[in-house]
Amino acid sequence: MAKIDFGGTTEEVITSDEFSIEKARDVLKDETIAILGYGVQGPGQALNMKDNGFHVIVGQRDNSQSWDKAIDDGFVPGETLFSIEEAAKRGTVIQYLLSDAGQVVKWPDVKKCLDPGDALYFSHGFSIVFNDQTDIVPPDHVDVILVAPKGSGRTVRTNFLDGSGINSSFAIHQDYTGRARERVLALGIAIGSGYLFPTTFKNEVNSDLTGERGVLMGCLAGVMEAQYNLLRKNGHSPSESFNETVEELTQSLIRLVAENGMDWMYGNCSTTAQRGALDWAPKFRDAVAPVFEDLYESVISGKETRRVLEANSSPDYREKLQVELDEIKHSEMWQTGTAVRSLRPENRKK
């Protein structure tokens, strides 16, 4: 496996150069991979493995949108599409990709279906690390492994289709068979990971929950809204406010960061932008540092997981969620975003 220097710290990474798709196929040649849940991560991982030539079946609740989506994606009821319990019985690798709250509800049924030597696979450390809240404690006779793509399920699929892949972490919680490492690496390559890097279930869930609530989603949405509102309050038009807050970031600057890093982005902007960004970045860093401290403490204490389980277990959760999403969708800022996106050249051609 490759050893890479990350800013002075050497870490192990695994790519398809070290662990080829052919090797993955050989490791998993006798396995039936059961994807339980076809909501967020399920479709991307299932379709990528199917396209890569692995034996994949799907377990999903009948008469649901996700069941119908699985059919639309080519899975056949009674052949490759089953109830959650039936798929769990048939699988030798059980990829437990229901929502975190859904995993809690279905665990008693799924646990009964685990045979000695099966692999129980997660894409999030939530249920195992916070088992005092979830009651998910795997039996001793299975491998318990994790592959966590660093992106949405949709991106897992789109990156696979364009040939780029998406980076994933991997972890082993329990190695009953002695084959857990080769299984988890094979599965990580099978789902189309760009490269794999090691973690633990605990580190994965703590970093993931922090990232989602922080820079990746919560913080990003919050600071965008703050800047947009400030510009509007000071007389700037909706279009100007949105372009200076969101459009330039997503369509230009973040792409420069993705290519070669933050310093390279600075180096390819105007001298005025460079100076201002370099001067103000430490002020923003120091201003939000206490918020991140509070966030991390909330994550590691289990407060965030309790909140998730309580909210997502509510029978009217989806209805309440839609109200919150509609509030964002219909705000001036994101209505402006819809209009701005429609003016992109690629969208005007449609």
Q: Which residues are catalytic?
A: 124
**DSSP codes, 150-163:** SS-HHHHHHHHHTT
Unique residue bearing structure tokens 């009948």: 62
List CB contacts of 214: < 8 A, sequence separation 6 or more: 292, 295
For helices 201-213 and 218-233, what crossing angle results, to 10°? Answer: 10
DSSP calls for 292-330: HHHHHHHHHTTHHHHHHHHHHTSTTHHHHHHHHHHHHHT
Least Cα distance to 67 among 37, 91, 111, 32 occurs for 37
At 71, list the tokens.
Answer: 């059919």
Q: Look at the block and give the residue holding tokens 């509800």.
A: 105
Question: Are 48 and 156 spatial neighbours (Cβ–Cβ below 8 Å)?
Answer: yes
Residue 94 near residue 144 (C-beta atoms within 8 A): no
Nearest to 105 by CA among 148, 68, 61, 48: 61
Helix/strand/coil (H, E, C) string of 65-90? HHHHHHHHCCCCECCCEECHHHHHHH
Give long-range contacts, CB 8 A cutoff, 24+ apart: 167-170.
167/193, 167/194, 167/195, 167/196, 167/197, 168/193, 168/194, 168/195, 168/196, 168/197, 169/196, 169/197, 169/198, 169/199, 169/204, 170/14, 170/145, 170/146, 170/196, 170/197, 170/198, 170/199
Residue 157: CB atoms within 10 A of its CB come to 23
